[in-house]
Structure 1
Amino acid sequence: MTKTAALATDRPRGPMGAPNGFTLLPWLLLGMGAASNIFQGRTPQPWIGGLGLLVFNSLYISVVFRAFVPAKRDALSTRISLAALAAVTLALALAYGDSWLLFFPLLGLATGAVIRGRRLGAVMLGLSLVAGAVAWRHEGWGGVSGILYGTFLSGMVTAAILALSETVAELRETRQELARSAVEQERLRFSRDLHDLLGHTLSVIVVKSEAARRIAPRDMDAALGQISDIESIGRQALVEIREAVTGYRESSLADELDRARAALTSAGIEPDVRRSGPPLTPQAEALLGWVVRESVTNAIRHSGAAHCAIEVGGTAERARLVITDDGGGVGSTAPGSGLTGLAERLEAAGGTLRSGPAPRGGFRVVAELPVDETTG
């Protein structure tokens, strides 16, 4: 355990304003009557009474402060201190009665702060009966109900309030953790979208720039056409980046297939794009569109392929996308961050993404997605 974690466990939980050990200290004023009896000489052997009062207060303060530290509340030393507090309370009440009986409600407060769960009811009932019996011994039936009821209620109410306070603190911590998780998820989404968008767009821009440079000496009009395409691609990339920032980008799969066909052709790779099967939901199209974009970008940048086939199919329940090239650049190493991120996205939607060498050479990416689970 690190030093920071150790300090956290030794510190009372909950935000500022939540109950803590100081919350239960004012109740020690219930013992003022016993202290007054000592100073007024109405207590036999006052030095014993004074010593008992000092021991009681010391044990009470120790117990209630330890009760608000989760790591210490269930410790054996805390239970021993609580048992010693009960013994001192019983001894003083039996010996002196009168105002000393009010120490039983204080004992109930300390017990409710330490003991939680199903055991508390039985413990408080037993403690209250003992308090009532001692009160009956000194004051008869007239003093039984107040002490019995006060002892039982003080412990049960204290436990209920502290349990509610801890629940509220845990809910607040959970809400803060969910907020942090949402921020991290949004950062991850944006980084993935930016990687996929810029990787594909810059690859196409590089390919078209090289084409324009090669054909410019022979055919200036064709070179200007390539430059015009570069301008259009750049403008489209700006729009897509704005959409990615706001989180509303859900591109059409048909548009991604058209862009893939154009990008592959510009890179000198013969495209073979086929689509069949029923229409897909917008969420399914968006996810498969990301797979097309990333796979085509990898094929253009790394594969050295001459041919790339893209096939979309499936059933009404499950969509399937297969992208295969005959190159050798991609697949010689482990999947990059783009494919890894896409695999995580599809897995979150209940789908799968597999990538690796194709059976007949080249590289293949297979994405499967349960359409009915992406509609939410």
Structure 2
Amino acid sequence: MTGTADESEWAKPLGKKAFLPWLFALTGDTFHMALGDMPLPWLAGLGELAFVALYGTAVFTALDERWRRTLLPPAALACLVAVTFALNIGYLDHWQMCFPLLSIAIGVVLRDRGRAMATTLGTLGITSGSLWFLRPEDASTGSVLAVAWGTALGGVVAASALNLREAVRKLRDTREQLARAAVERERLRFSRDLHDLLGHTMSVIVVKAEAVRRLGPKNLEAALGQAADIEAVGRQALTEIREAVTGYREGSLTTELDNARSLLDASGIAAGIRQSGPPLPPQTGALLGWVIREGVTNVVRHSGASRCDIEVRGEPDRVHLEITDNGRGVGSSGGDGNGLKGLTERLAAAGGSLTSGPDGRRGFRLVAELPVDDEEVRAA
């Protein structure tokens, strides 16, 4: 909790008034001016008022996103430079603390322009340092070093603090975006899995229920066998849904080919299944299993075919899957369908491809190609 709270505080932008307390550095010279210890105190007062107004304008506008990219902050900064040197040249033994404050204003205004800020601070250091040769001889060496050190570090510290907070804010926003993207990907994965699982399972149950209805009056034993298959399919579907919810489901290509044969046979569709080539990595086989499940389900639901052929042809670096039927040339209930669209995205993410469409004058053809690279498929 503490770490999160600290990080949240760092992610908040600094308020516009964050740099105003540094103006108390001018308190000493203000007292001298009020006591009449410097010539023309009214002129010094006007100079101090101009300095404070320009300092506030430069800092406020540079911290306001509406004004940050306009000409107002650099214009106020340029006027602040002029007032600072006018006060220091006119009152050689007063107003030295204007230089550290000017350095802070430079860091705030030019914080995202590193080269310009470094050049400006360097020039300020050189020109302000040259003024020390004009100071009275009794000027304190300690105060000279303190002012010089403050001038050198003021702008760097101010720019670093602002840039650090900006970086923390961007990192937090990026992390939140990644978290939202991960949630969206998981939702998409779950919706795809649920669509594929329930679509296939309900098709099997409907087909076998129709078989029970047809066989019941004629062959009670065969009807009971189909009913037992419905029970087995239902239990298997429950297991697969639980696995899909937890994200650990990995289908088997051999299992899906067996399930495809069973579903086609129960639907009265002749099945021709051929598999060749070397054994496939588990993840590659699992992804092809999803394609077979969706393709065969669409054949049973929409094609009106009497025959369906499934060919899996493995090569050293790629595997080719083709599902064809002799039906009406319709692969789904609506063009590509949500299932085929989801599978196309899955295979594309794994470096593969999925194409589908009518096969000549009659029938429908579904072709999937996938690299035989288990790491790439697992990452996708």
Q: TM-score, normalised by structure 1?
A: 0.91
2:133 aligned with 1:136: yes
Match of 1:5 in 2: none
Q: How many residues align?
A: 364
Contact 2:299/2:331 (8 A) holds in 1: no
Match of 2:353 in 1: 352
Matched, 1:24 2:27: no
Shift of 1:61: 1.9
Q: Which moved more, 1:284-293 or 1:219-228?
A: 219-228
Among all aligned residue pairs of Structure 1 and Structure 2, give the percentage whose two residues are the same amino acid.
53
Amino acid at match of 1:374: V
Kindly provide the CA deviation profile for residues 86-128 of structure 1, in whole angstroms up to 9, marking residues without a partner as x. Answer: 1111112222233411011001001011112222211100011
Q: What does 1:221-240 correspond to in 2, within 5 Å?
A: 221-240=221-240
CA distance in 2, matches of 1:375, 1:180: 21
The one-letter code matched in structure 2 to 1:326 is: N
Aligned residue identity for 2:232: S
| Residue aligned with 1:100, SS | coil
Deviation at 1:15, TM superposition (A): 5.5
Corresponding residue of 1:158: 158
- Per-residue Cα deviation, 1:214-243 (whole angstroms, up to 9, x for no partner): 221112222221111111111111110111
Residue 97 of structure 2 aligns to a residue in which SS?
Answer: helix
Q: Is 41-50 or 319-328 further displaced after alignment?
A: 41-50
CA 187–375 in structure 1, closer or farther in 2 if over 3 Å, else same? closer
Pair 1:35 & 2:33 matched: no
Provide the rounded CA distance (Å) in 1 between the counterparts of 2:104 and 2:255. 70
Whole-Å Cα distance in 2 between the matches of residues 68 and 285 of structure 1? 57
Q: Cα deviation per residue 1:131-177 (whole Å; 9 max; x = unaligned)? A: 21233322468465443332121112222232222222211211111
Give the Å deviation of 1:293: 0.7
| Corresponding residue of 1:193 | 193
Q: Could you report, residue by residue, the CA deviation over 1:295-327 in whole angstroms, capped at 9, with x for unpaired residues?
A: 111111111111011111121211111011111
Looking at structure 2, the residues matched to 15 and 326 of structure 1 have their Cα atoms a distance apart, in angstroms, of 66
**How large is the Cα RMSD of the aligned pairs?**
2.0
Partner of 1:3: none
**Is 2:122 the partner of 1:125?**
yes
Separation in structure 2 between the aligned mates of residue 14 and residue 78 of structure 1, nearest angstrom: 26
Conserved in 1, the CA contact under 8 Å of 2:212 and 2:226? yes
Q: Which amino acid counterpart does residue 77 of structure 1 have in structure 2?
A: L
- Aligned-pair CA distance for 1:270: 0.9
SS at match of 1:230: helix
Q: What SS does the aligned partner of 2:323 have? A: strand
5 Å-filtered alignment, 1:325-344, equals 325-328=325-328, 330-331=330-331, 334-344=335-345
Rounded Cα–Cα distance in structure 2 between residues aligned with 1:72 and 1:27: 22
Letter aligned with residue 33 of structure 2: I
Whether contact under 8 Å (1:355, 1:366) holds in the other structure is yes
State the partner residue of 1:6. Answer: none
Counterparts of 2:184 and 2:204, CA distance in 1: 30
Q: What corresponds to 1:170 in structure 2?
A: 170
CA apart distance, 1:71? 5.1
Instruction: Return the alpha-carbon distance in structure 1 between the equivalents of residues 10 and 145 of structure 2.
Output: 38
How far apart are residue 14 of structure 1 and its match?
Answer: 8.2
Structure 2 residues not aligned, in runs of 5+? 1-7
Query: How far, CA to CA, are the matches of 1:154 and 1:33 in structure 2?
Result: 19
The amino acid of 1:108's aligned partner reads S
Return the letter of the residue paired with 1:120.
M
CA distance in 1, matches of 2:136, 2:257: 93
Output the amino acid matched with 2:149: Y
Aligned to 1:272: 272
In 1, the alpha carbon distance for the partners of 2:66 and 2:248 equals 46
CA offset at residue 375 of structure 1? 5.3
SS of aligned partner of 1:353: strand
Name which of 92, 100, 113 aligns with 1:97: 92
The answer to which of 153-162 and 238-247 deviates more is 153-162
My pick for the range that moved more, 236-245 or 111-120, is 111-120
Structure 1 equivalent of residue 82 of structure 2: 87
SS in structure 2 of the partner of residue 101 of structure 1: coil
Contact in 2 for aligned 1:358/1:364 (Cα 8 Å): yes
2:11–2:169 CA contact under 8 A, matched in 1: no
Deviation at 1:272, TM superposition (A): 0.8
Verify the 8 A CA contact 2:11 2:172 in the aligned structure 1: no
